[in-house]
Amino acid sequence: MKKLFDEENRAEYLKTHRDEVMEHKTFCEIFLDTVKRYPDRTAVYADGRTVTYEELLRWSNSVAHCLLQSNVEKEEIIAVSTGRTAETIASIIGIWKAGCAYVYLDRAYPKERSENIILECHCRILIDGRWWEEIDREITLPEINYSERDCLALLIYTSGSTSRPKGVMLEHKNVMASVYNLQLFETTEKERFGVFPGFGFVAAVSDLFSTLAVGAANYIIPGSIRKNIVELARFYRRHRINITFLPPHMARKLLSMDLEDIPLRLLLVGSEPVRNLDISRAHFRIFNVYGASEMCSMIAHYEIRDGGGKAIYPVGRLNPGLKGYLMGEDGNAVCPGEPGELWLSGNQVSRGYYGLPEMTRTHYTENPFTREKGYERVFKTNDILMELPDGNLQYVCRMDNMFKIRGFRVEAGAVETAIMECGEVKEAVVKAFTDQGGCNILCGYFTADKKLDVKAIKERMKEKIPYYMVPTCLIQLDAFPLNINSKIDRKAIMPPKELNNHKLLEKLY
User: CATH no. for residue 486?
Assistant: 3.30.300.30
pLDDT of residue 125: 95
Per DSSP, the residues of 323-386 read EEEEE-TTSSBPPTTS-EEEEEEETT---EETT-HHHHHHHEEE-SS---TT-SEEEEEEEEEE
Reported as a single tens digit per residue, the pLDDT across 239-284 is 999 999 998 888 989 998 888 899 999 999 988 888 888 888 999 9
Asked whether residue 423 is domain-assigned, the answer is yes
Mean pLDDT of 311-340: 88
Residues in Cβ contact with 194 at an 8 Å cutoff, skipping those fewer than 6 apart? 219, 221, 235, 236, 239, 241, 243, 244
Q: What is the mean pLDDT of the chain?
A: 86
Q: Using the predicted structure, report yes or no on whether residue 3 has a pLDDT greater than 70.
A: no
Asked whether residue 463 is domain-assigned, the answer is yes
pTM of the predicted model as reported, rounded to 2 decimal places? 0.81
Domain boundary among 132, 147, 162: 147
Rounded distance, CA 322 to CA 374, Å? 10
Residues in Cβ contact with 117 at an 8 Å cutoff, skipping those fewer than 6 apart? 79, 103, 105, 123, 157, 165, 167
Q: Would you place residue 507 in the very low, low, confident or very high pLDDT band (cuts 50, 70, 90)?
A: very low
Of the chain, the percentage scoring pLDDT greater than 70 comes to 88
Per DSSP, the residues of 229-279 read HHHHHHHHHHTT--EEEE-HHHHHHHHTS--TT---SEEEEESS--B----
Q: How far is CA 481 from CA 109, 154, 216, 447, 497, in A?
A: 15, 28, 34, 11, 18
Report how many domains make up the chain.
2
Reported as a single tens digit per residue, the pLDDT across 191-203 is 999 999 999 888 9
- Beta bridge partner(s), residue 476: 446
Mean pLDDT of 210-215: 94
Asked whether residue 109 is domain-assigned, the answer is yes
Q: Using the predicted structure, report yes or no on whether residue 349 has a pLDDT greater than 80.
A: yes
Asked whether residue 385 is domain-assigned, the answer is no
Domain boundary among 147, 174, 191: 147
Rounded distance, CA 374 to CA 349, Å? 9
Reported as a single tens digit per residue, the pLDDT across 76-90 is 999 999 999 999 999
Asked whether residue 5 is domain-assigned, the answer is no
Burial class (CB in 10 A: 0-12, 13-18, 19+), 313: buried
Asked whether residue 93 is domain-assigned, the answer is yes
Residues in Cβ contact with 394 at an 8 Å cutoff, skipping those fewer than 6 apart? 312, 314, 315, 385, 386, 387, 388
Residues in Cβ contact with 292 at an 8 Å cutoff, skipping those fewer than 6 apart? 202, 299, 379, 381, 383
pLDDT of residue 159: 63
Q: Would you place residue 407 in the very low, low, confident or very high pLDDT band (cuts 50, 70, 90)?
A: low
138-147, 222-231, 286-295, 435-444: segment of lowest average pLDDT: 435-444
The identity of residue 405, as a single letter, is I
pLDDT of residue 408: 66
Rounded distance, CA 423 to CA 406, Å? 28
pLDDT of residue 142: 79
Q: Using the predicted structure, report yes or no on whether residue 21 has a pLDDT greater than 50.
A: no
pLDDT of residue 76: 97
Q: Using the predicted structure, report yes or no on whether residue 436 has a pLDDT greater than 90.
A: no
Q: Would you place residue 306 in the very low, low, confident or very high pLDDT band (cuts 50, 70, 90)?
A: confident
Reported as a single tens digit per residue, the pLDDT across 107-161 is 877 788 889 899 999 999 999 999 998 888 777 777 888 888 999 999 999 865 4
Q: Using the predicted structure, report yes or no on whether residue 54 has a pLDDT greater than 70.
A: yes
Domain boundary among 131, 147, 163: 147
Which stretch of DSSP H or E encloses residue 442? strand 440-448
Rounded distance, CA 212 to CA 223, Å? 21
Residues in Cβ contact with 471 at an 8 Å cutoff, skipping those fewer than 6 apart? 415, 419, 430, 442, 443, 444, 458, 461
Asked whether residue 260 is domain-assigned, the answer is no
Q: Using the predicted structure, report yes or no on whether residue 491 has a pLDDT greater than 70.
A: yes
Q: How far is CA 389 from CA 83, 115, 312, 314, 396, in A?
A: 45, 49, 16, 12, 15
Contact of 206 with 296, CB cutoff 8 Å: yes
- Beta bridge partner(s), residue 325: 343
Strands 266-270 and 285-292: parallel
pLDDT of residue 74: 95
Per DSSP, the residues of 256-268 read TS--TT---SEEE
User: CATH no. for residue 37?
Assistant: 3.40.50.980
Mean pLDDT of 403-424: 78
Asked whether residue 464 is domain-assigned, the answer is yes
Residue 486: which domain range? 406-508
Higher pLDDT, residue 421 or 296: 296
Rounded distance, CA 149 to CA 92, Å? 16
